[in-house]
């Protein structure tokens, strides 16, 4: 536990106060003058009477109502010196005063002071005062914590982070790879800076902009860039921060947020993950949350109600636009929907250039080659890729990031952490034939993506891997390309059957077969690439949204379902037989490639193609060169 002077003082001070009161209480009934003149020795009452009879008492001071006396007496044992002693007098001794008068002894009676009652009262108040003080300090401390007791009065207040001058440290120059989205949002910045430029021709400021795209494509980064460029007040909040378990709290927070925004207009409100509060109303099964629906209703009213919100621009981000309420998406609330998709090769190169600014790259590293090798990577993926490469460089104690670190980082990001290499055994040879089968089909089939490398080094759950690099960013895929990919995925199973026999095939092709079945089924049911004709029999859907998709019926009859299954089997069987024949025709080539792969454990694409070219004709494949 960390030592705290504040805690020490907090507990020491009450202890000192309590000790002080107890000390005062102990002497509460002792008069002040008796404390000053108190005798150091005591004398019994009988001895005192004896001294009194022998005229050895010079003076007597009575205290505490006659219960105690301080006596000045001549002590014969001390050479007749005067000594002050204390005598405890009996309660019933009325004759003492008479006797003192008879002996002409000077005496004085001191009145009793009533301090005891006061100190007793104060002593009784010590514990309540300390208890109240401790509770106050705890209450004050917890009130500074989010959700603490002190926040009870602010429960319905907005939790949006507010910046009068948004200094996010991000500008449009720091966002790359999504030029179309930047252009759309650049107009929003111009609206905020120079509204007269648009109002002069009758244009009005858009009320809302919805950023839609997969995770990691830069939606939140774009919002930060807008805030940094516009230089206007900026509110940022997550959709989940509106919804609470108590009905009405979320709506209260929405009202408070827009009230603050109107006081600081023109301004920007950024709502991240708006699907947490903007899901469709009346979802029915599993979706009836009154609190969330009231929050959404209040948000709809604030965005476009009777009052309006002149000067407030709402920017929201989501990766699930399909579950948002239709009333939220209409013009007047979100006038623009900006698609922030995964970048193409040109965009990936621009993103890599941004993230490579603070990285020390070796002269031999080509960012264009990295961009070509990373199709489908988002901006977050590319940032993570270069960071992993930098970590590997530091771990290997190199001065700059080389291609070796880049390659290892790509493999780590895509397939997982590198495992322990397999020892030379039957299992390793079987895996080698499996991977060579994939790579051989990818090299000999014209419409297949070219091989980037083949390796036997385990990564993640895979014992071996074959990497393919697309020749271009493919938005459209032809039927021949789909069939080529099916053949490539079946190459591993075909090689196992040709080399080891049907009884020795393994479970290593399990994931390959899932991909094959999925591609073949989409060819039949979605793309109309079968004998059933140009029919789309299944829609592309993600997860079932309860209340909307729960009662969705099948879009075709049982007889069509049977024909679909037949067509899927026919496509897969046709490609599998062609792949088996390819493996039989190039048996000697496979043996040589496997021996080389076992020896080196990794073969790059160029070396693989050179060896294949010695045995068969390698078809020309287009090389994509981006216009940068």
Integer Cα distance of 106 and 108 in angstroms: 7
Collapsing DSSP to helix, strand or coil, 332 comes out as: coil
Integer Cα distance of 210 and 337 in angstroms: 5
Integer Cα distance of 374 and 382 in angstroms: 8
- DSSP 8-state secondary structure symbol assigned to residue 152: G
Integer Cα distance of 225 and 179 in angstroms: 13
Q: Please give the span between the terminal C-alpha atoms of the chain, in angstroms, as a whole number.
A: 58
CA distances (Å), 484 to each of 368, 373, 571, in order? Answer: 27, 20, 11
State yes or no: is 573 an active-site residue.
no
Integer Cα distance of 78 and 82 in angstroms: 8
Q: What six digits make up the tokens of 153?
A: 């009065």
Write the DSSP string, 4-68: -HHHHHHHHHHHHHHHHHHHHHHTTTS-HHHHHH--SEEE-HHHHHHHHHTT-EEEEEEEGGGTE
Backbone angles phi, psi at 459, to 5 degrees: -140, 125
Q: Are 417 and 588 in contact (CB under 8 A)?
A: no
Catalytic residue among 241, 435, 496, 497: 435
- DSSP 8-state secondary structure symbol assigned to residue 274: G
Q: Which helix (H) or strand (E) holds 71?
A: strand 68-75
* 3-class SS string, 400-444: CECHHHHHHHHHHHHHCCECCCCCCCHHHHHHHHHHHHHHHHHHH
Integer Cα distance of 20 and 12 in angstroms: 12
- Which residues are known to be catalytic? 435
């Amino acid at each position: 536990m960390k030592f705290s002077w504040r805690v020490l003082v907090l507990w020491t001070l009450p202890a000192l106060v309590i000790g002080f009161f107890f000390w005062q209480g102990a002497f509460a009934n002792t008069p002040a003058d008796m404390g000053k003149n108190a005798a150091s020795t005591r004398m019994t009452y009988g001895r005192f009477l004896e001294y009194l009879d022998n005229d050895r008492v010079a003076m007597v001071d009575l205290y505490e109502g006659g219960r105690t006396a301080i006596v000045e007496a001549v002590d014969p044992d001390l050479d007749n010196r005067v000594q002050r002693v204390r005598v405890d007098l009996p309660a019933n001794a009325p004759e003492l005063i008479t006797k003192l008068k008879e002996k002409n002894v000077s005496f004085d009676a001191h009145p009793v002071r009533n301090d005891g009652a006061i100190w007793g009262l104060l002593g009784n108040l010590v514990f309540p005062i300390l208890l109240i003080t401790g509770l106050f300090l705890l209450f004050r401390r917890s009130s500074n914590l989010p959700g603490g007791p002190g926040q009870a009065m602010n429960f319905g207040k907005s939790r949006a982070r507010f910046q009068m001058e948004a200094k996010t440290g991000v500008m449009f120059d720091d966002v790359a790879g999504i030029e179309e989205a930047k252009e759309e949002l650049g107009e929003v910045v111009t609206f905020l800076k120079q509204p007269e430029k648009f109002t002069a021709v009758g244009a009005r400021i858009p009320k809302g902009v919805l950023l839609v795209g997969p995770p990691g494509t830069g939606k939140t980064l774009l919002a930060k860039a807008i805030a940094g460029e516009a230089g206007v007040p900026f509110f940022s909040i997550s959709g989940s921060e509106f919804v609470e378990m108590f009905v009405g709290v979320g709506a209260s927070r929405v009202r408070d947020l827009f009230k603050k925004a109107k006081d600081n207009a023109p301004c920007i409100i950024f709502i991240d993950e708006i699907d947490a509060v903007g899901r469709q109303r009346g979802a029915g099964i599993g979706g009836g949350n009154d609190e969330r629906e009231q929050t959404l209703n209040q948000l709809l009213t604030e965005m476009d109600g009777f009052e309006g919100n002149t000067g407030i621009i709402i920017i929201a981000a989501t990766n699930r636009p399909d579950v948002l309420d239709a009333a939220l998406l209409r013009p007047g609330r979100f006038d623009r929907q900006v698609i922030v998709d995964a970048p193409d090769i040109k965009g990936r190169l621009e993103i890599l250039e941004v993230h490579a600014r603070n990285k020390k790259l070796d002269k031999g590293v080509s960012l264009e080659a990295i961009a070509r090798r990373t199709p489908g990577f988002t901006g977050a993926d590319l940032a993570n890729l270069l960071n992993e490469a930098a970590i590997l460089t530091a771990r290997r104690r190199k001065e700059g990031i080389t291609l070796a670190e880049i390659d290892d980082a790509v493999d780590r990001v895509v397939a997982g952490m590198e495992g322990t290499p397999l020892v030379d055994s039957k299992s390793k040879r079987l895996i080698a034939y499996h991977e060579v089968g994939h790579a051989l089909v990818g090299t000999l089939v014209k419409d297949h993506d070219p091989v980037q490398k083949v390796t036997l080094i385990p990564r993640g759950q895979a014992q071996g891997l074959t990497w393919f690099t697309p020749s271009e960013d493919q938005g459209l895929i032809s039927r021949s390309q789909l069939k080529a990919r099916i053949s490539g995925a079946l190459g591993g199973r075909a090689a196992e059957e040709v080399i080891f026999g049907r009884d020795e095939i393994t479970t290593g092709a399990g994931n390959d077969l899932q991909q094959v079945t999925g591609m073949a089924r989409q060819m039949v049911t979605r793309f109309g690439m079968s004998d059933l004709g140009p029919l789309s029999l299944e829609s592309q859907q993600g997860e079932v949204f309860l209340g909307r998709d729960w009662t969705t019926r099948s879009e075709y009859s049982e007889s069509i379902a049977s024909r679909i299954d037949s067509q899927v089997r026919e496509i897969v069987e046709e490609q599998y037989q062609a792949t088996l024949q390819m493996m039989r025709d190039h048996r000697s080539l496979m043996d040589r490639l496997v021996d080389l792969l076992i020896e080196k454990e990794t073969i790059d694409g160029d070396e693989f193609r050179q060896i294949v070219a010695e045995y068969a004709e390698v078809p020309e494949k287009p090389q994509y060169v981006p216009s940068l």
